Amino acid sequence: MIDEDIEEGINYYKEGDYVKSKEIFYKKYKIDKENPLVNKFIALILINEKDKKNAWKFARKALEKNPEDRENWVILAQAFLQDNKIDEAKMVVVQALKNGLSKTYVVQIEKEISRRINDLLASSSFAIKTKFIERKNKGDKNKEYFKKNTKIEPHQFEALEIKNLHNLKNYKLLEIKSKHFSKSYPDISYGWEYLGLCNIHKGKFDLALKNYQKAFEIDSDKHRLAINIITCHIELDQMEEAEKLYKKIKKDFPYIKLPNNFLKHFD
């Protein structure tokens, strides 16, 4: 049975009187800091007030105390996103699924994450902070260095969106964005690489092979592209081509560790 004061606070919240609701819940919080309902509604009120630094703290406590309340998962994700804590919001999704929350309910959280990512991508302040680092091989000495982009280019925003879609495992939208990227920037390997990943996800290794080959033509110093090409050759039973490229990358990139499954085919 819900405490009368808590019930009154909930009613005020539902009526949109957040001032009175907040007053009641903060009084209850002083008495019972561990109460999940108290923490839950304080979090909701703070989210409404855009208190991004504190909302997630109460939301997290509410979830810790009552993970069975499905709304607590969504509230925590929303609170994290309001504070631009995207990685933490993603972890909420992972943990929610582990705790048996249905996929249909988790979709609500994923939509919130995608929406927030798009907001950040449209934000110039976020864009200024975003820098892409490309890993390069430095000749025969096998030294690595990092080339930092000091000038933000338009394609970098789209590349960031593609990366986030991959992290969210939203392959349907990832494929659409990757196709658009490869058409808009055909001389940048990024779009071709992720398009190849989408085709591998669908089991279309012939198409993936073409995508990765195109990407490797552009960035032949990215050994991961060569590894993906070899994988496609193996899946397509094109062992002669696979072995030829395998020997080449062993020579060109002697410092990298190749996948163990390659050994049974070639060594």
pLDDT in tens, 86-144: 778 888 877 877 777 777 767 767 777 777 666 655 554 444 344 333 333 433 333 33
Helix (H) or strand (E) holding 134: strand 133-138
CB atoms within 10 A of CB 262: 18
Longest dimension (CA), the chain: 76
pLDDT value, residue 248: 87
Helix (H) or strand (E) holding 169: none
d(CA 195, CA 211): 6
Judged by DSSP in three states, 133 sits in: strand
CB atoms within 10 A of CB 22: 20
Q: Give the residue among 236, 226, 235, 230 at the shortest CA–CA distance from 267.
A: 230
| Distance set, CA 174 to CA 90, 198, 215 (Å) | 17, 7, 17
d(CA 3, CA 101): 27
The yes-or-no verdict on residue 52 having pLDDT over 70 is yes
pLDDT in tens, 58-79: 999 998 888 888 888 888 888 8
The yes-or-no verdict on residue 45 having pLDDT over 90 is yes
DSSP 135-154: EEEEGGGTEEEEEE--S--H
| Mean confidence (pLDDT) of the chain | 79
pLDDT in tens, 218-259: 888 788 899 999 999 999 999 999 999 988 888 877 767 778
CA 243 to chain centre: 34
In terms of pTM, does the model score above 0.75? Answer: no
d(CA 120, CA 137): 32
pLDDT value, residue 105: 67
Q: Which domains does the chain have, with CATH numbers?
A: 4-122 (1.25.40.10), 149-266 (1.25.40.10)
Stronger pLDDT, 123 or 9, i.e. the higher one: 9
